[in-house]
Amino acid sequence: MANWFGRRERPATATEQAAQLNVAEQQPPHALIISLNEQGMVVAASGDVLRELKVQSIPSPLADWLCTTSARSVPAQLDEWQGQVIDLDFLAATGKLIAMRGWLHVAEKVWTLRMMSVGDLLEQSHIVDVRRHCLSQGALFAARIRSESPGRLPQALGEVLSALAHSWQVPNLALALPSPGGDWQVFARHQGFQAPELWREQQSLGVALALLKGDRPQQLTARELADSPDLRSVFGSRPAFAVPYQRPGSASVWLLFGGYCAAEQVPALRVGEWSQLTSLIAEALLQRLQAQRVEQERDRLTVLQGLLGTGWWEFTSGSQLFELSPTLANALALSRVGGVLLADWLSVIHPADRDEFRLRLTGLSVEGQNFVQCLRMLEPGKANEYRWYRVQAEAKGHANALRVCGFLLDISDIKQQEALASAAHARLSNLIASSPAAIYVQAYNDGALELEFCSASLQPLLGWSLEQLTGGQLAEQVHPDDYQVFFDRARRLLRDGSVSCRYRLRDKHGAYHWLLDEAKLLRDDQGQPLEAVGLWLDVTESTLAAERIRESEERYRVLVEDSPAMICRYKPDLTLSFANRPLAAYLDAEPDKLVGSNLGSWLSAEQLQAFEQRLAGLTVEQPLSTAEICLQLPGREHAWWIWADRGIFDEHGQLIEVQAVGRDNTEVRKAQQQLFQGAKMATLGEMATGMAHEMNQPLNVMRMAVANVLKRLSMGELPNEYLQEKLMRIESQVQRAARLVDHMRVFGRRSEAEQQLFDPLQAVEGAVSMLRDGLSSKGVEVQVAEQSIAVAVRGHADQLEQVLINLMVNARDAMLDKREKAPDFSPCICVEAEQEPEWLKVHVADNGGGIEPRIMERIFEPFFTTKEVGKGTGLGLSVSYGIIEQMGGRLSVDNQAGGARFTICLPIASQVRSTQAETC
């Protein structure tokens, strides 16, 4: 038979058609019967599957009915299919594939291909394979977890979760265990590529998982998560899947699938397979953790016994052998195979304790009498050196099978402490006898405290003996003005249990002593008073000194209150603890009401930040700081104070309080601002000619554009493109003039009260733009170096611009004077910025010949000028110097090759333009 791919042959004969009808009448269910002619063309087709197929024209090649893979498997000769089971995938009208299985036979030169649908069988086989793969994968995972070392257990479980996630396409997968606190904690997790992070290792999940009831896997929809904020905090907002595992008598385990719908992703797996997979992994993990905990407990017990020198022992009376724990055997150097003989055990016990232990052990072995004994045992490797041990023993079992079990505890430290305590008690007794303070004991008797004991130091302190102060005689020696304190002391001691007070007692010679009386009441088990123990300490000198200090403080308080300066104290968080009357009057408040207020409430955000930074710079070595601060007072103008702080530090160098003195500097500041504003307006007046020239240029361009339009209009030739071009030119010139006017208006405006962060290069650009055309008209070239600086400084941008204009105008005047003497001279001004780690420098240099050294030192003095009368006020450089100084910088001048160079040095506040520079 010839190759029949793509061929078109003759129609079927009558015999072939009859055979086709006969075949069609024998159609089984879910079948497809295709008749092929000798050329391999489909001449007829029938069966209930036919209506699902993508029907082709008849006759047509069989390959047109099949998918690409099945089409390639069709042989060149149909007789090659005889006697074989044929599997083909047909194209359905919906685009899906229909799996068919059948055979081929021939009758009267008609080839009949009988096929039946096997899609259900294949799908069932696939499901079985998936489930078998799931369980086998779980077994492999469990075996790996059991074989891992304790140190790599979290990492190994993470690798297992990663493999599981890749097998079933899970974006986020985690295994959670209960924590000791009662909530849930992530033990290991996996996060897929580009998947959102839901969990972290050791992350606490709270008690949200307790909301999931039952012991079967649960599919959580987005709606269920939206209704439960606790669950949404664990799983996010996407659908999730959670599989539990519960072992009787043990903690549960949760396997969490984030952003995963199990029914859609792996429909072949049922709830049972997910539960079995989780149980395999969880059971292996719990067994490994349990084994790890048992091993840790054993290690802890061994370490504890080694640290304490303890251990268990067991004695068998029949064999007279001691069996010891390894730790105890090593500590006593009695390690032997099979046990330790009683004689060897007794040989290491101190002779004074040996007989007692032997008799007690015999009594326990025979009569079952438990015992506790403290004895000394020989220290290994040291002759005649013993350590104290506490032996506890008890009998186990019945009379015929009695076992003696015991525990040995090293109490050498306790015995040593007892010896030290006895020595300390002896020293304390000696100290009481020789103490400069008089230690006394008062017995409680029927609601009253009576003096019962007093140390020997009472005699040199007051000259009285104990017998002379008993029987109510103690109260007779109290100063009459201190009776109330003395009798209140007894009542407070009985009520509160302790007391500390001061009063005066008379000595034997009639002089009074100030005594510090500190006492504590001792009670019995029922809480009833027994006695009071206390001491008398002579504090006469310190009390008199404290009185003198109080008098001094009173004088200091009067001085502070009457001072014209504003004085206050405040804590590091700016909370006022004291304010004198002048400060309270300035702030329109009473001094008492200011206490507790926050000083930062009168400061702006920028001022507050600068204030806190200045306080942070106070140290023990440099506790002083002075600055000018600006306050915002409600309903009033800004107030400027000269403020001086002094930090008070504790013994650890921590700032605990600040003492401050302020002086009102508002009027001086206003006068200074007026001076700056006057200098600015004078600068504007000097630039008026240049501004007029600058305004004339856009006006001339607009006038010429209008004249050209009118001329073309009179000629009747005015194209739209020409008119649009002229109008756009006029608009650009209007914008140019508007920018110039706006800049002049902003420059002439009064500066803000507080300094702000600004870009200094913008001030350079503004100054150059205002003067460039005026300078060019006079033949002065202006060069501005290209800058890549991205910093900010604190101050006023218009004032820095004013300084730059003053410097450039002074340079212009100096160079024009030089050109009058040398007509070939070419004036040039160079403006350049330079950045250092903490400072920004702006240089304004000229080639006018420089400044004479004899006047260099006076150049910044007020009213000093080298210009002719009527051409200069001598305030420009002085005002400029003050502006830069207020910004925390400095203005300097030096001579360079060819001319003078003024340098403005400003402290850098922040790197605020770096982001803009990177964006550009």
Ranked by mean pLDDT, the top range of 127-136, 515-524, 561-570 is 515-524
CB 41 within 8 A of CB 5: no
Same domain (yes/no): 190, 229:
yes
In a domain, 860, yes or no: yes
Higher model confidence: residue 623 or residue 702? 623
244 lies in the same domain as 336? no
Task: For residues 737-742, give the mean pLDDT.
Answer: 59
Q: Using H for helix, E for strand and C for coil, what is the string for 664-681?
A: ECHHHHHHHHHHHHHHHH
Query: What is the model's pLDDT at position 7?
Result: 36
Q: What is the mean pLDDT of residues 441-456?
A: 86
Q: Please choose, from the candidates 172, 289, 186, the residue with its C-alpha nearest in 3D space to the C-alpha of residue 237.
A: 172
When comparing pLDDT for 637 and 775, which is higher? Answer: 775
Q: Is the confidence at residue 239, as pLDDT, over 80?
A: yes
Asked whether residue 132 is assigned to any structural domain, the reply reads no
**Is residue 920 over pLDDT 80?**
no
Q: Decide if pLDDT at 626 tops 90.
A: no
Q: What CATH number is associated with residue 276? A: 3.30.450.40
Average pLDDT of 648-662?
Answer: 88
Flag whether pLDDT at 8 surpasses 50.
no
- The answer to whether position 816 is within a domain reads yes
- Domain holding 491, by residue range, is 434-544
Sequence-distant (6+) residues with CB within 8 A of 557 are: none
Segment (H or E) for 108:
none
Contacts of 57 (CB under 8 A, 6+ apart): none
Residue with the bigger pLDDT between 677 and 161: it is 161
72-76, 136-140, 365-369, 554-558: the lowest-pLDDT one: 554-558
Question: Mean pLDDT across the stretch 189-201?
Answer: 87
879 in any annotated domain? yes
Choose between 919 and 851: higher pLDDT: 851
Q: Which of 218-232, 488-502, 622-636 has the highest mean pLDDT?
A: 488-502
- What pLDDT does residue 57 have? 75
Single residue among 356, 383, 417 that ends a domain in this structure = 417
- Give the least confident one: 324-338, 581-595, 818-832: 324-338
Helices (H) and strands (E) in the chain, counts: 28, 35
- Between CA 155 and CA 163, with CA 157 as vertex, the angle to 5 degrees is 105
Whether residues 627 and 591 share a domain: the answer is yes
Split at pLDDT 50, 70, 90, the class of 918 is very low
Tokens of 149: 């070392």
In 3D space, the residue among 842, 826, 832, 847 whose CA is nearest the CA of residue 884 turns out to be: 842
Residues 627 and 524 in one domain: no
- Mean pLDDT, the chain, rounded, equals 78
What's the CA gap between 484 and 470, in Å, rounded?
20
Does the pLDDT of residue 914 top 60, yes or no?
no
Looking at the chain, the whole-number percentage of residues with pLDDT higher than 70 is 81
Lowest mean pLDDT among 422-436, 584-598, 663-677: 663-677
At a CB cut-off of 8 Å and minimum separation 6, what does 187 contact? 154, 157, 175, 176, 177, 201, 285
- Judge whether residue 327 has pLDDT over 60: yes
- Number of compact structural domains in the chain: 6
Residue 670 within a domain: no
Side-chain half-sphere of 13: how many Cα atoms within 13 Å?
Answer: 7
pLDDT higher than threshold 50 for residue 337: yes
pLDDT digits (tens, 9 = 90+) for 660-705: 888 877 766 666 666 555 555 555 555 555 555 556 666 766 777 7
CA distances from 216 to 131, 253, 360, 550 (A): 18, 12, 61, 79
pLDDT greater than 90 at residue 601: no
For residue 248, how far is the Cα from the chain centroid? 40
The CATH number assigned to the domain holding 327 equals 3.30.450.20
Residue 472 binned pLDDT confidence (cut-offs 50, 70, 90):
confident
Residue in the structure block whose two tokens are 């016990």: 349
For the chain, percent of residues with pLDDT exceeding 90: 4
Q: Is 802 left (phi over 0), alpha (psi -120 to 50) or beta?
A: alpha
Most confident region among 392-401, 468-477, 711-720 by mean pLDDT: 468-477
In a domain, 555, yes or no: no
Instruction: Please indicate, yes or no, whether residues 620 and 484 belong to a single structural domain of this protein.
Output: no
CATH assignment of the domain containing 762? 3.30.565.10
Q: How far is 55 from 47, CA to CA, in rounded Å?
A: 13
Are 567 and 580 in contact by the 8 Å Cβ rule? The answer is yes
Where would I find the H helices in 311-395?
326-332, 342-347, 351-367
Do 536 and 608 sit in the same domain of this protein? no
Question: Model confidence at 250, in pLDDT bands (50, 70, 90)?
Answer: low
- Give the Cα-Cα-Cα angle 87, 91, 92 (nearest 5 degrees): 120
Task: Give the CB-side neighbour count of residue 573, counting CA atoms within 13 A.
Answer: 3
Q: Please list, in sequence order, all residues whose beta carbon lies within 8 angstroms of the beta carbon of residue 841, skipping any fewer than 6 positions away.
A: 833, 834, 835, 903, 904, 905, 906
pLDDT one-digit tens code per residue, 413-424: 888 888 888 888
Q: How many Å apart are CA 99 and CA 86, to the nearest integer?
A: 11
Residue 1: inside a domain, yes or no? no
CA distances from 688 to 682, 684, 751, 771 (A): 10, 6, 21, 10
* 25-38 pLDDT, tens digit each: 444 556 778 888 77
- Phi and psi torsions of 780, nearest 5°: -100, 125
- Supply the pLDDT for residue 520: 93
Highest average pLDDT, of 342-346, 456-460, 513-517, comes from 513-517
Q: What is the pLDDT of residue 58?
A: 79
Residues 728 and 809 in one domain: yes
Residue 680 is predicted with a pLDDT of 58
pLDDT tens-digit map of 350-391: 999 989 988 888 888 877 788 888 888 888 878 888 888 888
426, 513, 417, 420: which is closest to 464 by C-alpha? 513
Question: Over the stretch 858-904, which tens digit does the pLDDT of each residue have?
Answer: 777 765 566 654 455 556 677 788 788 888 888 888 888 778 899 99
CA 201, 207, 211, 214 torsion: positive or negative?
Answer: positive
User: What's the confidence (pLDDT) of residue 91?
Assistant: 80
**Do 76 and 186 fall within a single domain?**
no
C-alpha 554: how far from its chain's center?
49
- Within this chain, do residues 643 and 711 fall inside the same structural domain, yes or no? no
- 342 domain residue, yes or no: yes
Q: What is the pLDDT of residue 479?
A: 92
Strands 639-649 and 624-631 come out as: antiparallel
Shared domain for 697 and 605, answered yes or no, is: no
Residue 259 pLDDT = 86
Q: How far is CA 287 from CA 151, 154, 292, in A?
A: 15, 14, 8
pLDDT of residue 23: 44
Reported confidence tier of residue 905, pLDDT bands at 50, 70, 90: very high
Confidence class for position 481, pLDDT limits 50, 70, 90: very high
Are 749 and 885 part of one and the same domain? yes
**Domain stops at, among 272, 295, 318:** 295
Which H or E run includes 783?
strand 781-784
- pLDDT level of residue 338 (50, 70, 90 thresholds): low
Contact indicator for 663, 563 with CB cutoff of 8 Å: no
Given this model, what pLDDT does residue 501 score? 92
Inform me whether the pLDDT recorded for 159 exceeds 50.
Answer: yes
pTM for this model (two decimals): 0.36
Is residue 150 within 8 Å of residue 292, measured between CB atoms?
A: yes
Provide φ and ψ at 634, rounded to 5°: -60, 130
For residue 727, give the nearest of 740, 715, 712 by alpha carbon: 712
State whether 291 and 327 are in the same domain: no
Across the range 64-87, mean pLDDT stands at: 75
Long-range Cβ contact pairs of 329-336 (< 8 A, separation 24 or more) = 331/306, 331/380, 331/410, 332/377, 332/380, 333/380, 333/381
